[in-house]
């Protein structure tokens, strides 16, 4: 008769604390509790899938009933209790799957069963797997028995979702948190199983299997069986990545070379080849992020132990990391992390990844100040900028050039304009701009001098004897006209028009609230609320200076006014309205409570 095949996850399932992989602190605690006879009546084993929760529960149940414990506090596997457990005919160990037995009737049957003492051995152990699947009523029915069970009963609860367990259940149990198994522990266990099965496997291939398992030993054994079925008794790294559809490290190293050389074209072609081979774009970004992280930890001998790759690939990481700067890796990780976070919301995920690849190529490969596509200095590709100086002398005429020679016109020389002793420059829409200070663009228009706004005649930009004689004569400025409410509104609307495009909300506020002119040349602006006052306050200085310049009255000032009833907080919700009424009539709350009324 042909021997039946048993999967490795069942065939090599641990049967003692010593053979449990990757949970040394938990197994040591359980062994010490058994040796010191400090057994609790309820335990909770929680953690990810495939890390040994149910396995440890079974080993613990077998060990506490063993008659002949070894010196290492392990079950002897020869006594009657151990043999009945191994042959699955023990009446002392009961397993319940809460995923399919989650009703209150199932828990009531379990409570009735708990009362029966064990026929052989000391304890009756009840292992409840996936305990978070129990219903609310089942949990409530289980509480009393879990807190005060018979002396012979021990409960072991196992779950992958601890947060779904009621706090009243957690408080009655000793909680053991199982963590994910490290890659090196999984590789060591797989190597032991491969030696027992007579299978030769490359260490880099085992590393890929361990990474694919994501910390779960059961998943690693299942993948191992799958790979052996595909490859036979000789397993190689290339066969594993082909069968498991894992992106080869070589692609990431080629991309790193492209980034260091600033060759974004080749990186885009490599990414296209990766997509054609059937790899997912999100997995690619995740793998490239891990690659940059591995390069970063390879830069320092103190962090090299965090590198969880095969020996041959590890040496390659050390070589490539030497050519990568810390700044390059740090900026690359930021770009990849941003791409990873925004990937699911992107309408065109491929374009997002390609932009990330181009950004990575620009970190190190293109010199500062160069064009990102041509690689030439920016001065050779940048378009000529228009001169910011408006009052400039005309450039001298240049004779027509021939095809053989070109003559460049000299740059225009700005004509200096004396700075007036009046107050600071004001903002206006007058096209004449001062060149005495650097040009600064404002949403209200170009810079204009106060003396220019107060003169009746336009400012002359002429230079020479005629201009000098005019300055010597010293023409007197005419007195400002009387400011009326009509003129004030005209100037007000002129200022508001400068904000119409860039700041539409301020424009709406200014046009909806017209100013009033008092007898003492003070402008009063009545507003509706505090928000409008804050908005006006942000431009009040510029507004007042503009009105002074347009009217010629330097003593103008402005104040804002809000009606008192508007400064109070508006009532929006039902609770706010009720509290407002309650302040006026304290007996209102007593009336509401006596009738059992609510806001709805």
> CATH number of the domain that 223 lies in?
1.10.8.60
Report the distance separating Cα 401 and Cα 407, nearest Å.
Answer: 7
Helix (H, G, I), strand (E, B) or coil at 444: coil
Residue 117 is predicted with a pLDDT of: 85
Which residue shows structure tokens 């057994």? 39
Identify the domain boundary among 218, 244, 270. Answer: 244
Q: Structure tokens of 377? A: 């200095």
Q: Any bridge partners for residue 448, and if so which?
A: 426
Find how far residue 479's CA is from the centre of its chain.
Answer: 64
Clarify whether residues 20 and 166 are in a common domain: yes
Same domain, 298 and 234: no
Regarding whether 34 and 154 lie in a shared domain, the answer is yes
Domain match, 517 and 435 both: yes
Q: Are residues 337 and 264 in the same domain?
A: yes
- Decide if 559 is inside a domain: yes
Q: How does DSSP assign 8-25, residue by residue?
A: HHHHT---SGGG--S-HH
Residue 165 in tokens: 């367990």
| Length, in residues, of the chain | 600
User: Is 76 part of a structural domain of the chain?
Assistant: yes
Place of tokens 């810390």: 326
**Nearest-angstrom CA–CA distance, 507 and 523:** 18
Residues 315 and 214 in one domain: no
CA distance 151 to 109: 19
How many helices (DSSP H) and strands (DSSP E) are in the chain?
26, 12
* Listed residue (411, 413, 410) closest to 463, CA to CA: 413
Domain annotation covers residue 65:
yes
Query: What's the Rg (C-alpha) of the chain?
Result: 41
Q: Is residue 82 part of a domain?
A: yes
Tokens 């505090």 label which residue? 530
Instruction: Provide the CATH number for the domain around residue 99.
Output: 3.40.50.300
Domain end position, chosen among 349, 364, 379: 364
Of 344, 299, 292, 342, give the one whose Cα is nearest residue 322. Answer: 299
Residues 28 and 107 in one domain: yes
What pLDDT was estimated at residue 26?
A: 93
Task: Give the CA dihedral 196, 199, 204, 205, nearest 10 degrees.
Answer: -110
Beta strand pairing call for 426-427 and 447-448: antiparallel
- Distance of alpha carbon 560 from its chain centroid, rounded? 44
Q: What is the spatial distance between Cα 479 and Cα 247, in angstroms, rounded to a whole number?
A: 83
Q: What is the pLDDT of residue 457?
A: 40
Which tokens belong to 225?
């069986």
Helix (H) or strand (E) holding 124: strand 124-129
Flag whether 156 is in a domain: yes
Cα of first residue to Cα of last residue in the chain, in angstroms, is 77
- The residue among 347, 364, 381 that closes a domain is 364
- Cβ neighbours for 298, distance < 8 A, ≥ 6 positions apart: 304, 307, 314, 317, 318, 320, 321
pLDDT value of residue 479: 53
For residue 362 the two structure tokens come to: 């620009």
CA distances to 12, 96, 260, 263, 300 from 363, in Å: 50, 58, 8, 11, 21
pLDDT given for residue 345 in this prediction? 87
> What are the percentages of helix, strand and coil residues in the chain, rounded to 5?
50, 10, 40
Is 504 in the same domain as 549? Answer: yes
61 and 118 share a domain? yes
CA quadruple 389, 394, 397, 400: dihedral positive or negative?
positive
127, 42 Cβ separation under 8 angstroms:
no
Least Cα distance to 488 among 510, 455, 514, 512 occurs for: 514
**The CATH number of the domain where 297 resides is what?**
1.20.272.10
**Same domain membership, residue 142 and residue 46:** yes
Structural domain for 166, as ranges: 8-177
Residue written as token pair 């957690």:
170
Residue 193, domain member (yes or no): yes
Asked whether residue 584 is domain-assigned, the answer is no
User: At 42, which helix (H) or strand (E)?
Assistant: strand 42-46
Rounded-to-integer distance, Cα 341 and Cα 331, Å: 16
pLDDT in tens, the chain (600 residues): 456 788 888 888 998 899 899 899 999 999 999 998 899 999 999 999 889 999 999 999 999 988 888 888 888 888 888 888 888 888 888 888 888 888 888 888 888 888 888 877 788 999 999 999 998 888 888 888 888 888 899 999 999 999 989 888 999 999 999 999 998 899 999 999 999 989 999 888 898 899 888 889 999 999 999 999 888 889 888 888 888 888 888 899 999 999 999 999 999 999 999 998 888 899 899 999 999 999 999 988 888 888 888 778 888 889 999 889 999 999 999 999 999 998 888 889 999 999 999 999 988 644 444 444 444 544 444 444 443 334 434 444 433 333 333 334 444 444 444 444 443 333 343 433 333 333 333 334 434 444 444 443 443 444 444 444 433 444 344 456 677 878 888 888 888 888 877 788 888 888 887 888 876 678 888 887 777 888 888 888 888 888 888 888 777 888 888 776 544 566 667 777 888 887 878 778 777 777 777 766
- Are 336 and 225 in the same domain? no
Helix (H, G, I), strand (E, B) or coil at 565: helix
CA distance 358 to 366: 11
Buried residues in 404-418 as b, exposed as e (16+ CB within 10 A): eeeeeeeeeeeeebe
The answer as to whether 592 is a domain residue is: no
Count of domains for the chain: 4
Return d(Cα 357, Cα 332) in angstroms, integer.
Answer: 9
At 461 the pLDDT is 40
Q: Taking a C-beta distance cutoff of 8 angstroms, is the pair 473, 422 a contact?
A: no
Burial of 402 (0-12, 13-18, 19+ CB in 10 A): exposed
- 159, 84: one domain: yes
């Amino acid at each position: 008769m042909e021997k039946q095949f048993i999967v490795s996850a069942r065939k090599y399932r641990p049967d003692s604390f010593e053979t449990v992989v990757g949970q040394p602190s938990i197994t040591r605690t359980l062994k010490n509790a058994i040796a010191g006879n400090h057994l609790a009546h309820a335990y909770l084993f929680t953690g990810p899938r495939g890390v040994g929760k149910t396995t440890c529960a079974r080993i613990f149940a077998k060990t506490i009933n063993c008659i002949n414990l070894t010196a290492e506090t392990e079950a002897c596997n020869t006594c009657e209790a151990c043999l009945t457990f191994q042959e699955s005919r023990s009446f002392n160990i009961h397993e319940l799957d809460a995923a399919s037995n989650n009703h209150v009737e199932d828990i009531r049957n379990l409570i009735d069963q708990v009362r029966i003492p064990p026929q052989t051995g000391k304890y009756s152990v009840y292992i409840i797997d996936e305990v978070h699947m129990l219903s609310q009523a089942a949990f409530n029915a289980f509480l009393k028995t879990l807190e005060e069970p018979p002396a012979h009963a021990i409960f072991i609860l196992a779950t992958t979702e601890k947060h779904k367990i009621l706090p009243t259940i957690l408080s009655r149990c000793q909680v053991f948190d199982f963590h994910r198994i490290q890659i090196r522990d999984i590789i060591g266990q797989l190597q032991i199983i491969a030696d027992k099965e007579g299978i030769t496997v490359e260490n880099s291939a085992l590393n890929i299997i361990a990474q694919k398992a994501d910390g779960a030993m059961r998943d690693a054994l299942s993948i191992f069986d799958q790979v052996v079925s595909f490859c036979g008794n000789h397993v190689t790294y290339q066969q594993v990545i082909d069968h498991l559809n894992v992106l080869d490290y070589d692609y990431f190293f080629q991309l790193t070379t492209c980034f260091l050389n600033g060759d974004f074209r080749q990186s885009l072609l490599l990414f296209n080849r990766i997509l054609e081979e059937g790899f997912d774009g999100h997995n690619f970004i995740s793998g490239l992020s891990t690659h940059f992280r591995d390069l970063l930890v390879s830069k320092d001998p103190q962090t090299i132990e965090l590198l969880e790759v095969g020996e041959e690939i590890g040496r390659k990481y050390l070589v490539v990391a030497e050519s990568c700067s810390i700044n390059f890796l740090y900026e690359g990780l930021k770009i990849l992390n941003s791409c990873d976070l925004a990937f699911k919301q992107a309408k065109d995920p491929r374009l997002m990844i390609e932009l990330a690849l181009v950004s990575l190529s620009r970190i190190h490969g293109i010199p500062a100040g160069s064009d990102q596509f041509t690689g030439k200095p920016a001065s050779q590709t940048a378009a000529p900028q228009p001169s910011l100086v408006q009052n400039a002398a005309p450039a001298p005429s240049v004779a027509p050039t021939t095809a053989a020679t070109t003559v460049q016109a000299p740059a225009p020389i700005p004509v200096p304009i004396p700075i007036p002793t009046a107050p600071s420059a004001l903002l206006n829409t007058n096209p004449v701009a001062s060149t005495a200070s650097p040009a600064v663009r404002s949403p209200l228009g170009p810079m204009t001098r106060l003396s220019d706004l107060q003169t009746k005649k336009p400012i002359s930009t002429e230079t020479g004897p005629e201009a000098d004689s005019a300055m010597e004569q010293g023409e007197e400025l005419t007195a400002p006209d009387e400011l009326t409410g009509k003129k004030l509104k005209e100037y007000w609307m002129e200022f508001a028009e400068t904000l119409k495009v860039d700041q539409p909300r301020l424009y709406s506020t200014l046009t909806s609230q017209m100013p009033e002119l008092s007898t003492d040349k003070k402008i009063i602006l009545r507003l509706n609320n505090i928000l409008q006052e804050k908005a006006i306050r942000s431009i009040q200085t510029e507004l007042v200076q503009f009105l002074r310049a347009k009217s010629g009255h330097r003593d103008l000032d402005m104040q804002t006014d809000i009606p008192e009833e508007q400064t109070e907080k508006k009532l929006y919700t039902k609770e706010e309205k009720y509290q407002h009424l309650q302040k006026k009539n304290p007996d209102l709350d007593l009336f509401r409570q006596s009738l059992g009324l609510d806001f709805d």
